[in-house]
Chains A and B, each alone.
Chain A
């Protein structure tokens, strides 16, 4: 099957554009993003650039989603804290959930602390499943918009639907 139920659900929930850096755990999602019309998916050179593009889009009246590997969260902390959290901007985020004990070494240190990092900065998160993408997209967009803050959907390999 081509396409991504996850992307379709997020668009249905109100996401206008996507900016991000690919992760192999989100291969199906990013493949679908590449099929969006020009200007609706921004392939950024690094995750913090993607997050800043989303801030500009929101100032312009559109809701942009940032998508990335959880390793990219490290690059994003400065932008999330001194842009989205400080100015109170909504930011739905799709973040891969790498770092399980069987994953490669380079994914474990930050990967196994992703939830703690998000909790530390007061960013709400939820773990995605393979079958409830409409409710998850709705939660993500509503949490980000109502709270005018970042909110994260953590996506494991099996939830890239």
Chain B
């Protein structure tokens, strides 16, 4: 499964009220290309912080909040596992699109090849954390993840390279991206 296919799979399984926070770089662009939603927040920078932004939403909203993280992203903001595992927001769903490389910058090796991210999440207190390998049924894994009591982390292994064209930059200003989510949530 490619990263683009995994993003499309997860977005297709969400309810209209779910809030999404998509990590910077290719993950946000894929999420926008696959299914733009007013309740999706697209990060352009601040790498490593998708899960803390999702936590801020989970603490202030009653809806389900889904963080679309990357393996390099998660390793950069590794303290997020302790923050979320410690606070245990029950409606937070954390997905790691784990291609085991820094794909956006040319496919350099990432420590996720050696580090078990699901085991780390479980050790930090996530009540549900699993890895789904390349040869496993990703659809079933996503259903189990979204059906679990949160916070739940799914480390979804995807192919290191996407064969298709790279998703284009999102044609919105950062300010519009933020206000779109605020408006959809009735906050401005």
A55-B53, A79-B49, A88-B174 as given contacts; A45 in contact with B182, CB under 8 Å: no
Whether A58 contacts B175 by the Cβ 8 Å rule is: no
Question: Does B178 have its Cβ within 8 Å of any Cβ on chain A?
Answer: yes
Of A46-54, A96-104, A118-126, A135-143, the one touching chain B: A46-54
Query: In chain A between 44 and 99, which residues have their CB closer than 8 angstroms to a CB of chain B?
Result: 44-46, 48-50, 52-62, 64, 78-79, 81-83, 86-89
Question: Does A128 have its Cβ within 8 Å of any Cβ on chain B?
Answer: no
Interface residues on B, range: 35 or more
Taken together as a complex, chains A and B put the C-alpha atoms of A112 and B188 apart, in Å, by 38
Q: When each residue 34-45 of chain A gets 1 if its CB lies under 8 Å from chain B and 0 otherwise, what string results?
A: 000001001011
Question: Does B87 have its Cβ within 8 Å of any Cβ on chain A?
Answer: yes
Whether B185 contacts A89 by the Cβ 8 Å rule is: no
**Chain A residues whose CB sits within 8 angstroms of the CB of B187 once the complex forms:** 59-61
Residue of B nearest to A63 (CB): B60
Q: Which of A52, A56, A60 has the most CB of B within 10 A?
A: A56
Query: In chain B between 36 and 61, which residues have their CB closer than 8 angstroms to a CB of chain A?
Result: 41, 43-47, 49, 52-61
Taken together as a complex, chains A and B put the C-alpha atoms of A149 and B186 apart, in Å, by 20
**Chain B residues whose CB sits within 8 angstroms of the CB of A64 once the complex forms:** 56
Question: Does A17 have its Cβ within 8 Å of any Cβ on chain B?
Answer: yes
Whether A60 contacts B83 by the Cβ 8 Å rule is: no
A49-B77, A79-B46, A88-B174 as given contacts; A56 in contact with B83, CB under 8 Å: no
Taken together as a complex, chains A and B put the C-alpha atoms of A137 and B58 apart, in Å, by 26
Query: In chain B between 56 and 104, which residues have their CB closer than 8 angstroms to a CB of chain A?
Result: 56-61, 77, 79-80, 82-83, 87
Q: When each residue 136-172 of chain B gets 1 if its CB lies under 8 Å from chain A and 0 otherwise, what string results?
A: 0000000000000000000000000000000000000
Q: Which of B43, B53, B55, B56 has the most CB of A within 10 A?
A: B56
Whether A59 contacts B175 by the Cβ 8 Å rule is: no
Question: Does B1 have its Cβ within 8 Å of any Cβ on chain A?
Answer: no
**Chain B residues whose CB sits within 8 angstroms of the CB of A46 once the complex forms:** 79
Whether A60 contacts B57 by the Cβ 8 Å rule is: yes
A-B CB pair tally, cutoff 8 Å: 108
Whether A59 contacts B79 by the Cβ 8 Å rule is: no
Residue of A nearest to B45 (CB): A82
Per a CB cutoff under 8 Å, which of B44, B57, B174, B178 touches A57?
B57
Residue of A nearest to B78 (CB): A45
Whether A82 contacts B57 by the Cβ 8 Å rule is: no
Taken together as a complex, chains A and B put the C-alpha atoms of A45 and B58 apart, in Å, by 18
**Chain A residues whose CB sits within 8 angstroms of the CB of B80 once the complex forms:** 49
Per a CB cutoff under 8 Å, which of A61, A83, A87 touches B175?
A87
Chain B contacts to A: CB under 8 angstroms: 19, 21, 41, 43-47, 49, 52-61, 77, 79-80, 82-83, 87, 174-175, 177-178, 181-182, 185-188
What are 15 sample pairs from A and B whose C-beta atoms fall under 8 A apart?
A48-B49, A49-B79, A50-B52, A56-B58, A56-B59, A57-B59, A59-B41, A59-B178, A59-B182, A60-B57, A60-B61, A61-B61, A61-B188, A87-B175, A89-B178
